[in-house]
Amino acid sequence: MPSSADVVIIGGGVVGSAVAYHLREAGCRGRIVVIERDDSYSRASSNLAMGGIRQQFTLEASVRMVQYSVGFYQDLDRRVPVAGVNFRQRGYLFLADTDSAARLTRRYEAMRSAGAHVAWLSRDEIRRRLPDASLDDIEFGVFGPEDGYANPKAVLFAMKTIAEDAGAEYVRAEVHAIERTNNKVTGVAFGADSIDTSVVVNAAGAFAGRVAELAGVSLPVSPVRQQLFRCDLPRHWEYRFPMVIDPDGVHWRHDDAPTADRPDRIVVAKTKHHEVPGENFTCDDGRWLSDFFPTLVRRMPPFTGLTLVEGWAGLYEMTPDHNPIIGEHPEAPGFFLANGFSGHGLMMAPATGKAVAEIVMTGTSRTIDIGVFAYDRYRLGALLDDEATL
């Protein structure tokens, strides 16, 4: 292996691969090395994700990030047709009951001000999209018509494919040191090897805090378990579901069968807000009956005949304000951050790759102003407030 590289990216998931691809697009003609410790991606957040893609945020930077990513994902199946990304723009539908109506009304107005494309739906308009739903307690809905979901495993495969096609080299290894000289990044060490470089990008997802420690700096990113379940529907549904978010937090989407003879399915998730941080991949099967199934059958009575197929857990990479950290670390010149997406990494990955590539190449993100996501907000105590990240 050559002993030097222009850029080393630690983490080869959707974010790291997006950075590698966009670096080449931004004019980096040198060597780009992506170091991934597990090329099976068995614990990668993008591999275990739900696959949702929404622009419904109240920070303009987040809205612009996802709008860029939507355009990218719309074209990804054409570019990597064997992947089966299947970005379905069926929308994101947040339902509001009496308790959540005021909060969702504020969010709706704030999202519109931030440039998000959203629509206010009456109960009758919701019923036309969800004719089987029980909506007596629902006052209105907020719908993102350009939003939707994709196959997360296929997105990961496709992003890695286009990065490799652009010339990025993937190395299976675990980094054990990030070297600095006179405070500046000078290389990375892994196994018995090392690579000299002046640019290291931390794209290590839920493990980003551990990688930052190798560079001698702190990073407020914690791994937090997210629980998901996949279910067979009791019949083949006559219409396709958007991503539906119940007022109690349970949300589901269609999981389209690859062929007509396979069962029609949904994927379901619900964030446990008091989940203890840690690298916990244990599936809590008990939550299916306590937290998931009752809401599903209450909102969609025909779901009574659902068959649970599997459950699994992945990791969110949480920050204190549930917003990402993007840009150069102020205490380690040459150490760049693409971290802390708090459950929104896949939906922001293409834009993150674009922004980080521009920062590395030119010193600033020109396509999207992502200055609000700089690390310095934690040093200044200026945390971001976006209720739509919860």
CATH number at residue 259: 3.30.9.10
- Based on the fold, state whether residues 237 and 314 are members of the same structural domain: yes
pLDDT of residue 2: 62
> Position of tokens 């931030």?
114
Report the domain count for the chain: 3
Residues 243, 97: one domain? no
Q: Please give the sequence-ordered ranges of beta strands (E in DSSP) within 215-355, or none if there are none.
A: 222-232, 243-245, 251-255, 265-269, 307-318, 325-328, 335-339
Same domain, 131 and 262: no
Say if residue 204 is in the same domain as residue 334.
Answer: yes
* Domain edge (last residue) among 272, 300, 318: 318
Q: Let me know whether 166 and 47 are in one domain.
A: yes
DSSP tag of 292: I
- So what's the pLDDT on residue 340? 97
Q: Token digits for 324?
A: 């990402």
End of a domain among 145, 165, 186? Answer: 145
Dihedral of CA 289/292/296/299: which sign? Answer: positive
Considering the entire predicted model, what is its pTM? 0.96
Q: Do both 259 and 310 map to the same domain?
A: yes
**171, 42: one domain:** yes
Indicate if 174 and 99 belong to the same structural domain.
Answer: no
Within a domain: residue 372? yes
- CA-CA distances (angstroms) from residue 50 to 14, 62, 116, 151, 209? 14, 19, 21, 8, 23
**What's the rounded Cα separation, in Å, for the pair 20 and 337?**
13
Domain final residue, candidates 128, 145, 162? 145
Residue that is written with structure tokens 């040093």 in the block:
379
Please list the pLDDT of the chain residue by residue as tens digits (390 residues).
Answer: 569 999 999 999 999 999 999 999 999 999 999 999 999 999 999 999 999 999 999 999 999 999 999 999 999 999 999 899 999 999 999 999 999 999 999 999 999 999 999 999 999 999 999 999 999 999 999 999 999 999 999 999 999 999 999 999 999 999 999 999 999 999 999 989 999 999 999 999 999 999 999 999 999 999 999 999 999 999 999 999 999 999 999 999 999 887 778 899 999 999 998 999 999 999 999 999 999 999 999 999 999 999 999 999 999 999 999 999 999 999 999 999 999 999 999 999 999 999 999 999 999 999 999 999 999 999 999 999 998 886
Residue 390 has what pLDDT? Answer: 60
User: Which amino acid makes up residue 308?
Assistant: L
Find out whether 146 and 55 touch, Cβ atoms under 8 Å.
Answer: yes
Q: Which domain holds residue 329?
A: 7-51+153-220+320-389
**Based on the domain organization, do 230 and 348 belong to the same domain?**
no
Distance of CA 129 to the CA centre of its chain: 26
